[in-house]
C-alpha cells in the first residue's frame, strides 16, 4: 500500500505541472540545486516496525512450547535532519540523523493448549542513516532515484521488565527508492525505505519478577527487527 501511494503521488505531481502530458518541455525549477557541494534539509514521515522470530522448539518442564509473532503493524512517527554531499552528477552521500517513535505488539501462543499472552514493545529510536543515493537523469521537474546504505539505532525508550526485552543497539541495511520533485523554492522528495536488522536484539541477561517468564526468552534462538519507512523530505 505504501509503494502504491508513493507511485500515485509521483505520477500526480508530474501530471499536475504545466507542460506535462507530452505538451513539450518547460522551464526547470531550481536548475542548479543538484550541483551544490553540500545542501541541507529535513524530513517527516511514518513507519511500521516488525520483529522476526527464530524459534528453537524449547519445551518447559511443564510441557509448554511457546511461539511468538507480530500479527499486525502500528504506524509510528519519524522526523530527521538531512545533509547531502554531492559526489558526481548521479551520486550523492546523504546523512539523515533523527528519531523514530513506534511500537510492536507481540503475541505469544502455547502450541498445545492455545493459551495466549501479549506484550507491547515501545521503541524510541535515535537513528543515524548513511545512504548512497543513485539518481537517474532529471526529466523536467522530477528525478527518480534509488539508494542503499546502513543505519545505526539506539533505543532510548524505557522498557518494562516483561516477557521479552530488546537490546538498545541495532544496525540495519537499508534500501530505498524515491523521486526528487523540483518546486519553485525547494525540493519535495517522497521516499519509501526498507530497513533490515542485522543483529540479534533479544536481551537474555536480565532479572524477571517471575522467574518462570524466562520460558519466552528460552523459546527463541534469535530475534531480529525490521522497518518500512515512508518519508517526505524538504530540501
- Please name every residue paired with 52 in a beta bridge, in sequence order, or none if there are none: 224
CA distances in angstroms from 215 to 42, 58, 108, 189, 218, listed in the order given: 44, 8, 11, 46, 5
**Cell digits for 14?**
508530474
Find out whether 126 and 83 touch, Cβ atoms under 8 Å: no
Cell 522470530 locates to 53
Single pTM value for the model: 0.84
- What is the structure's pLDDT at 158? 82
Residues 155-214: tens digit of each pLDDT: 998 877 789 999 999 999 999 999 999 999 999 999 999 999 999 999 988 888 888 889
42-64 per-position pLDDT tens digit: 999 999 999 999 999 999 998 99
DSSP reduced 3-state for 89: coil
Least confident of 70-74, 134-138, 178-182, 197-201: 70-74
CATH classification code of 2-15+36-234: 2.40.160.20
**Residue 133 burial by Cβ neighbours in a 10 Å radius (0-12, 13-18, 19+):** buried
Quote the longest CA-to-CA distance of the chain.
75
Amino acid at each position: 500500500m505504501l509503494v502504491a501511494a508513493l507511485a500515485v503521488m509521483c505520477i500526480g505531481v508530474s501530471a499536475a505541472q504545466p507542460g506535462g502530458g507530452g505538451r513539450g518541455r518547460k522551464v526547470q525549477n531550481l536548475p542548479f540545486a543538484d550541483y551544490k557541494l553540500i545542501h541541507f534539509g529535513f524530513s517527516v514521515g511514518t513507519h511500521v516496525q516488525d520483529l522476526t522470530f527464530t524459534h528453537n522448539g524449547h519445551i518447559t518442564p511443564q510441557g509448554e512450547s511457546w511461539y511468538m509473532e507480530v500479527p499486525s503493524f502500528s504506524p509510528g512517527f519519524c522526523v530527521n535532519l538531512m545533509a547531502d554531499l554531492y559526489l558526481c552528477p548521479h551520486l550523492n552521500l546523504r546523512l539523515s540523523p533523527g528519531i523514530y517513535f513506534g511500537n510492536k505488539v507481540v503475541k505469544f501462543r502455547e502450541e498445545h493448549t492455545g493459551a495466549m499472552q501479549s506484550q507491547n514493545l515501545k521503541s524510541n529510536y535515535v537513528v543515524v542513516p548513511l545512504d548512497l543515493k543513485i539518481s537517474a537523469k532529471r526529466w523536467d521537474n522530477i528525478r527518480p532515484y534509488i539508494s542503499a546504505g546502513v543505519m545505526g539505532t539506539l533505543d532510548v525508550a524505557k522498557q518494562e521488565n516483561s516477557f521479552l526485552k530488546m537490546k538498545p543497539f541495532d544496525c540495519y541495511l537499508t534500501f530505498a527508492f524515491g523521486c526528487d520533485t523540483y518546486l519553485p523554492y525547494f525540493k519535495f522528495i517522497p521516499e519509501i525505505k526498507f530497513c533490515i536488522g542485522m543483529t540479534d536484539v533479544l536481551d537474555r541477561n536480565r532479572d524477571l519478577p517471575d522467574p518462570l517468564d524466562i520460558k519466552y526468552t528460552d523459546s527463541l534462538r534469535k530475534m531480529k527487527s525490521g522497518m518500512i519507512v515512508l518519508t517526505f523530505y524538504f530540501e
